[in-house]
């Protein structure tokens, strides 16, 4: 029995890196974002710069920064708005206050769908790449380090 359990655990741990290696923006992440985020973050949404210049206006309109392309998404992960994507979509399980990000609720219709979509997105970001740190420290959120940036996978 002990060997059977060890075998199952070994298969499960081997599947996680395989999942991460196989997850791409085009095949896995883009369809999730299109289905769950496109209404407010689609091709008609403002660019990050446009959003930053008129946050109040776009917030009232229920429109956030554009996430409709790989390049616009990377702006909210790596630079210039490092960690914004992670802060907004996180489920809160790893945070001190255990509160999910304000966009987590939009990742799916059910808790199970949200958890599954987040798992795919985290696998795409890469082992150790899911990091809420900002480009420049602000408040309680520290600046992202080169080592943390190096952990981002983000396969197209």
Per-residue tokens: 90: 């996180």
Query: Does position 18 have pLDDT exceeding 50, yes or no?
Result: no
Q: Is residue 112 part of a domain?
A: yes
**Kind and range of the H or E run holding 16:** helix 2-22
Q: Is residue 119 part of a domain?
A: yes
Q: What length does the chain have?
A: 156
End-to-end CA distance of the chain: 42
Predicted model pTM = 0.84
Structural domain tally of the chain? 1
Burial of 82 (0-12, 13-18, 19+ CB in 10 A): buried
Average pLDDT score over the chain: 89
Q: Is residue 155 part of a domain?
A: no
What per-residue confidence (pLDDT) applies to 73?
98
Q: Is residue 156 part of a domain?
A: no
Q: In the chain, pLDDT over 70 holds for what percent of residues? A: 87
Q: Is residue 50 part of a domain?
A: yes
Rounded CA-CA distance 149/94 in Å is 19
User: What range does the domain containing 72 cover?
Assistant: 2-150
72-131, pLDDT tens digit by residue? 999 999 999 999 999 999 999 988 899 999 999 999 999 999 999 999 999 999 999 999
């Amino acid at each position: 029995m002990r060997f059977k359990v060890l075998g199952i655990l070994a298969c499960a741990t081997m599947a996680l890196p395989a999942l991460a290696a196989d997850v791409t923006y085009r095949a896995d992440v883009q369809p999730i974002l299109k289905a769950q985020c496109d209404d407010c973050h689609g091709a008609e949404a403002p660019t990050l710069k446009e959003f930053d210049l008129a946050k109040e206006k776009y917030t009232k309109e229920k429109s956030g920064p554009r996430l409709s392309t790989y390049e616009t998404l990377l702006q909210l992960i790596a630079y210039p708005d490092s960690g914004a994507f992670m802060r907004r979509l996180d489920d809160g399980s790893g945070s001190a206050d255990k509160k999910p990000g304000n966009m987590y609720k939009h990742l799916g219709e059910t808790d199970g769908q949200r958890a599954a979509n987040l798992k795919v997105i985290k696998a795409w970001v890469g082992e150790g790449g899911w990091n809420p740190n900002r480009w420049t420290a602000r408040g309680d959120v520290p600046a992202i380090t080169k080592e943390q940036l190096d952990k981002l996978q983000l396969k197209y």
